[in-house]
Structure 1
Amino acid sequence: MSTYTVLKFSPSKSSSGSAPRPPQRAIQPSPEKLSVPCTTVIVPQNHAGTTTEAGSPVKKKRAGKDKPVLGKNIGSDNFPNTSSNGQIDAKFEVQLGQLSQDFMKSLAVSKRVELSYSLVENGRPTLPPHNGFSELLGLFPTTFAADVVPPFVIIRVRTLPPKPWPFTVGGLPLWLTVDESADYFDRGRIGKGQKKLEYIDLQRREEFSVNILKEAITVFQDLHVKIRDIMWSPGFWRITVPDYTDLEVLPSFIARQVCFYKFLSEDPNTDPPALRSKVPQGVEYDDTFYALTPNALLRPGIMVSSSIRYETRDGKVEDTFKTTTSGILVVDRHGQPFITVATHGFEDDGLVYHPNPKKGSVIGKIVDRLLGTDISIVKLNPGLRYTNETFGTEDNPDGIKMSDISPCYPPHLRAYDAITMNNPFSGSCEGVVLGLGAMFPEEGERGYVLHQWYILENVDGTVDGSCGSPILDCDGQVVGLFRFKKENSPHCFGVSAMELRTLGYEICGGVREF
């Protein structure tokens, strides 16, 4: 049995000295308290001495502004707010598959497990090398099987270990289960129609792009099939179609990628209601009234709410309101500043409260609803200030400065790229891109709206109120705005931030006073 060296890294702490820092949240949301910070790196014993200048044994590559970072898919040095290249705080040897208290303690505080190989290369899932499955089989003491079934790595165990569990292994999201055969991702049924766009080779040669997406959409338009959404995840497409659509006419392959289909009734897709004023018992959200804090400076990730609505239930009149989270600071074509919010979180009067109508006050009003995107544009009240900078966290006191809007397609954004989100419901959390594609709105004149599919850590926690939150890539660029989490599913949707640019808005740097 091979011996491996295990290295445990804690996030690097900020070294900005006396430089001004954004405040940390006054109230730490419950899901953030569940987040584990470390990275466990497993390498063969004879490779353990090979390290980079940053101290991590993981191979580096260049990304973004020619900046050396850990591989996008397996490291966390690509996150502005977390890093696995700090000081090694544990180093020991193990024989995988044998019970080791040191090893289990390391996994229990690690968000990521990095193997001696990656399960993702250039945005595509890969299988372990010859004999590489031994590393997957040796992670947990009761493992009886391990499968790489994109977009997940599935490890099957006789007994589930205590939570928390690692979020990713080898760059793929991890699903731990006692089920001998279940898959974590319901792809649906394979189409039985003709192959389409065979001159495009997404399997090997070509990179996914918006142009390829447009051609795929045209395939269904030519077939007169009105689809609700289309997602490409490396290796397959998944498309939602009307009930009773004949599978015999639906393409079996598009651009040499197999096509799976779900019927609307099998996959209800409501823009779910924003979180109502009543929250689950024992769950903490950050409902601090930041407009009244010293040197008040509002930022993405504060709670915003609708006006009160009065509803009669069981003969009693109840007052409720919807709560979501603030988005990003933008400017229009004339240089006028605004912020974004989730459209479905507000009433027809367009009034925006912070943090809610009972504890706070109106801070602005919706002046434009971008139909089909679930994005609304808000003009804040005179005298308020806003900046595109997240709250600091314990691991990253400096927060993240949002630098730009990132294109939502490769090479700018790929499947399995890591993303972050920070809001009053989830707190600071990490995620992984599962797929790229589009949704087809019922309102407005837009034929389709670009979207991304994600999975987020601690997804069992309540994230419904996260609607409107900016989703950030490894360079602090905004790739999307959170829309909703699927009911009874870990999968989340975000509308591409590129839609803002298409409709005449750009992200704004610095501090703006209204």
Structure 2
Amino acid sequence: MILPPKRAASATETGSPVKKLKESLGKEPVPGKVLVPDAQFSFQLGSQYLEKRVTQSKRIELPYSLIEAGRATAPPEGNFSGLLRLFPTTIGADVFPPYLIIRVQKIQPKPWPLTGGGLPVQFRTDKWVESFDRGRMGRGRKFLEDLDLQRTIDYNQDVLRQVVRVFQELKIKVRDIFWFGGFWQITIPDGTDIKLLPSSIASNPAFYRTKSEAPNPDPAALRSKPLQGVEYDDTTYTTAPNALLRPGIMLSSSVRTIIRNGESEESFKTTTSGILVTNRKGQMFITVATHGFEEDGLVNHPNPHKGTVIGRIIESLPGTDISIARLNPSLRYVNETFGTFAEPDSIRMNGISPAYPPHLRVYDALSMNNPFSGSCEGVTMALGATIPEEGDKDYVAHVWNLFENGDEPVDGSCGSPILDAEGKVVGLFRFKVANSSLCLSVSVIELREFGYEICGGEQTFT
């Protein structure tokens, strides 16, 4: 039996920006109260198939790993028998990167395990249905054959620059380029001739989807108020005793009045706070999601009705969806997560990750904590970049992520820092793709390109 960790309230002095416990546990958590799982499911197994019991995590550990140097691999000697015994009604198991696919007669209720042997798990009832649309493979010639991403080298920024240059020289304006630990997935303009597109890049197959086949979310759709009927932590932390702000608190834009069906309606955008940074002059700021605010640049916490303006945006970084905000004087901020009953110790963010191997590999573990997702676990799915339409950068480094697949929405997590297992900040959440579990984050390494660095310790704004 796997028991998923319950989102819980903080053990810190200012509370926690995690989702409140459900009605069955009361409106507010009580210290010492016994927590129960959101859901549970059972599976049959023999002791030879698992090294240890999973109790605090949704990650199923096997006697072997299905990952090798950031790439998916089959079980030893191609023996899938252990995977076939993990869950009831299993009819098949496949390693189809980037997923481990478990084919069952009946899918168990959520939440499901996040990973098995290190690979993200997906359940399917049809034994022939693929779990991931890679797109169409290019029919053109092979490029960068002197680079062997399959065996001899790791993905890195130099490889990425060369891949971007390939499409510049082909005069094909792609929207994004991502390496999924064994293959490329690239978004191209509608109408591009598939025969002109590279079939292989750096010894890895290249797959393509058009912009209409893989549309980015409409920014307007990312700016609505929180979903109705979902509880969020909208505590005003600026008024808490010994108030100390930190990444993951709820932020919002100013109120905007729109006319809908002939009637005026008030609306505001909700996001979450990012990390504390400093510029080359030693001045302090925090990061926020650009698309979550109006042109006036006012930053509200937790929202314009309940809270107050706590700062103002002073700069937006082109192509990144990152804005830099200065908080009001006397407000304190620290790059440290909130704790929970399950994990009382907070995580001190101890730097930024370059977001490429060996600092970060595909399938590496991630975490995120904010009022929308709760304290949740995640997985690195792909490393790559978007090609901006604004600014003078050739590309902006990004990471595809996957987070827990329970009932907690991650929509609205925009701006939240995503951490690796060492507490380094990998990226800042941008959006979740509709009808998909994939989430896009911009790499925080981009902050350095604009002269910003993560700031350590507790700081007071002046």
Scaled by the length of structure 2, the TM-score of the pair is 0.90
Cα distance change on mapping 1:10 and 1:190 into 2, 3 Å:
closer
- Residue of structure 2 aligned with 1:165, choices 112, 134, 142: 112
Conserved 8 A contact 1:24-1:391: yes
In 2, distance between residues paired with 1:481 and 1:317?
A: 34
Find out whether 1:466 has 2:426 as its counterpart. no
Count of matched residue pairs: 444
- Letter aligned with residue 88 of structure 2: P
Flag the 1:271–1:430 CA change in 2: closer, same or farther, 3 A: farther
Match of residue 369 from structure 1: 316
Task: Give the counterpart of 2:394 among 447, 452, 473.
Answer: 447
Give the secondary structure class of the aligned counterpart of 1:217: helix
Structure 1 Cα separation of the partners of residues 412 and 17 of structure 2? 18
SS in 2 for 1:464: coil
Provide the residue aligned with 2:217 in structure 1. 270
Aligned to 2:82: 135
Letter in 2 for 1:397: P
Partner of 1:283: 230
CA distance in 2, matches of 1:343, 1:140: 43
Quote the residue 1:338 is aligned against: 285
Write the deviation string for residues 245-273 of structure 1: whole angstroms up to 9, x where unpaired.
Answer: 00111000001100000011111113634
1-structure distance, mates of 2:410, 2:443: 19
Aligned runs of 1:159-198 on 2, under 5 Å? 159-198=106-145
Does residue 491 (structure 1) correspond to residue 433 (structure 2)? The answer is no
State the Cα deviation string for residues 311-342 of structure 1 (Å, max 9, x = none).
Answer: 00011100000000000000000111100000
70, 80, 84: which one pairs with 1:123? 70
Which of 385, 393, 403 is matched with 2:350 structurally?
403
**8 Å Cα contact 1:453/1:492 also seen in 2:** yes
Gaps of 5+ in 1: 1-5, 12-19, 49-56, 59-89, 91-105
Paired with 2:36 and 2:329, the residues of 1 have a C-alpha distance of 35
**In 2, Cα distance between equivalents of 1:274 and 1:511:** 35
Q: Which residue of 1 aligns with 2:337?
A: 390
- Mark the CA change 1:419 to 1:179 in structure 2 (over 3 Å): closer, same or farther: same
CA deviations 1:379-411 (Å, max 9, x no partner) are 000111100011101221111110001111100
Which one-letter code corresponds to 1:462 in the other structure? P
| CA drift at 1:10 | 9.6
1:445-483 deviation line (CA, Å, top 9, x unaligned): 222100001111126642221000001001100010000
- Check if 1:28 corresponds to 2:46: no
Kept in 2: contact 1:305–1:352 (CA 8 A)? yes
CA–CA distance in structure 2, aligned partners of residues 172 and 242 of structure 1: 31
Closer/same/farther in 2, CA of residues 43 and 452 from structure 1, 3 Å limit: farther
Deviation of 1:279 (Å): 3.2
The structure 1 residue matched to 2:171, chosen from 224, 229, 234, is 224
Please state how far the C-alpha of 1:278 moved relative to its aligned partner. Answer: 4.0
Deviations 1:82-119 (A, max 9, x none): xxxxxxxx7xxxxxxxxxxxxxxx79x85111111110
CA distance in 2, matches of 1:401, 1:22: 16
CA distance in 2, matches of 1:216, 1:152: 25
**1:131, distance to aligned residue in structure 2 (A):** 6.0
User: Does 1:349 pair with 2:296?
Assistant: yes
Q: What is the Cα deviation at residue 276 of structure 1? A: 4.8
Pairing partner for 1:151 from 98, 101, 107: 98
The answer as to whether partners of 1:29 and 1:425 remain within 8 angstroms in 2 is: no
Q: Structure 1 residue aligned with 2:379, among 413, 424, 432? A: 432
- The residue number in structure 2 matching 1:507 is 454
Output the CA distance in 1 between the equivalents of 2:337 and 2:40.
18
Q: Distance in 1 between the 2:4 and 2:222 partners? A: 34
Pair 237,459 (structure 1): closer, same or farther in 2 beyond 3 Å: farther
The residue identity in structure 1 corresponding to 2:113 is P
Residue type at the aligned position of 2:436: S
Conserved 8 A contact 1:231-1:438: yes
Distance 1:284 1:353 in 2: 19
How many angstroms does 1:167 deviate by?
Answer: 0.9
1:246 aligns with 2:237: no
Q: Distance in 2 between matches of 1:507 and 1:35?
A: 35
Residue identity (%): 58
Q: What is residue 100 of structure 1 aligned with on the other side?
A: none
Write the distance in 1 (CA, Å) between the matches of 2:4 and 2:259.
52
Cα displacement string for residues 183-215 of structure 1 (whole angstroms, at most 9, x for unaligned residues): 221110000000000010011111111100111
- Secondary structure (helix, strand or coil) at the match of 1:130 reads helix
Aligned counterpart for 1:235 among listed residues 182, 189, 203: 182
Change (3 A) 1:216 1:452: same
Q: Is the 8 A contact 1:144 1:156 kept in 2?
A: yes
SS at match of 2:235: coil
SS at match of 2:311: strand
Aligned partners of 2:38, 2:3: CA distance in 1, in Å? 15
Q: Aligned partners of 1:389, 1:419: CA distance in 2, in Å?
A: 15
Query: Amino acid of the residue matched to residue 411 of structure 2?
Result: D
Alignment counterpart, residue 419 of structure 1, candidates 354, 357, 366: 366
Residue-by-residue CA offset, 1:410-432 (whole Å, 9 max, x unaligned): 00000000000111110111110
Whether the 8 Å CA contact 1:37–1:110 is kept in 2: the answer is no
The whole-number CA distance in structure 2 between the counterparts of 1:249 and 1:276 is 38
TM superposition score normalised by structure 1 = 0.81
Q: 2:271 aligns with which of 324, 328, 342?
A: 324
